[in-house]
Structure 1
Amino acid sequence: MYLNQANSFNEIYTAYYRKSYLYVKSYVHDDMAAEDIVSDALIKLWERMKREAVDPVRPFLFSILKNSSLDYLKHQTIKRDVHGTIGKALTRELEIRKTSLESSDPNEIFSKEIQHIIHATLQTLPERTREIFLMSRFENKSHKEIAELFEISQKGVEYHIAQSIRELRVALNDYLPLVGFFSFLNY
């Protein structure tokens, strides 16, 4: 079919859109992409026809559709490869973080500096308060056991522990957001 410059875009669209769309969609497998490719191809055909006679039209249109579809598929391949590469990098990074977390030793979380602050703070506490706190948190003695040892009430034991925790929280105030509330500080 020969179309001259007098033909309108609507005539070109009506004559070639449906077959072009089905052809392109059979390769790109994406409705929106096929519509875009066909619309662009029909516009290119119409623009060319405004400048010069295109005869025969179908092979020229087929060439535009083929090349545009190939470009789309190549772009999709590159996109998939990039996503795959990014996905692999993210997977590697997640594995590294997982491995790092799994291999972390809770004893190593407390740096020497934090341990020093804890030790120094405990040394500033009254002896009885320090001993009660250490027995409770590091020797795993119950409040009842400690109360019997010091011959005080369990409420007295709770008071000494609360005093110790209060002092440690003040001393470690800058570190608490980083390492969370230490399990031995929770009361």
Structure 2
Amino acid sequence: MQDNVLENELLSRLRKGDEQALSKLMDHYFVPLCSFCNVFIADMATSEELVADVFYTIWTKRMTLEIHTNFKSYIYTAVKNKALKKKKNLSSSRSVPLDTMTSDVVDPQNALTQLTLQEFNCDIKNLIQTLPEKRRVIFELNRFESLSYKEIATLLHISEKTVHNQISLAIKYLRPRISSLLNNIS
């Protein structure tokens, strides 16, 4: 949906009450927005609820909706704001949920390997969480959401140079710590 003309047409149809236009926008943006939202609050179920709320708000306010940028920037900013507001309301004592192992694993060596990988992934997630919030968000958007420096800069209203600097600092911080984690596994 790179074509702004198509998005503008869908928004025009949306304003007229066309539910299929909303459906097409949701088909394209819902999953990436949930992943993006999850960067901020680390709870996929809540992320899905928040993104659904944003689309619901767009639908209910479709007649008065004013978008001064492109739709992608608008909706990502709306989700980011909703996620940050939700994060403020969440208790700070939440734990990061572990990925569940498949129940049909029979091979003990395979189970041990999976458990080791899960623990390593959890350690990496926890390590990333120790980054300053702005740096963590920028790093996660780049590494986990595959957003370019330019897209991150636009989304967060900062310069590309700031994005570059924050990612460089994150890597400098994480690299030796991840190496240490890997040494502990061996």
User: Where on the TM-score scale, by shorter chain, does this alignment land: which range?
Assistant: 0.3 to 0.5
Q: TM-score, normalised by structure 1?
A: 0.38
Q: TM-score, normalised by structure 2?
A: 0.38
Larger of the two Rg values belongs to structure: 1
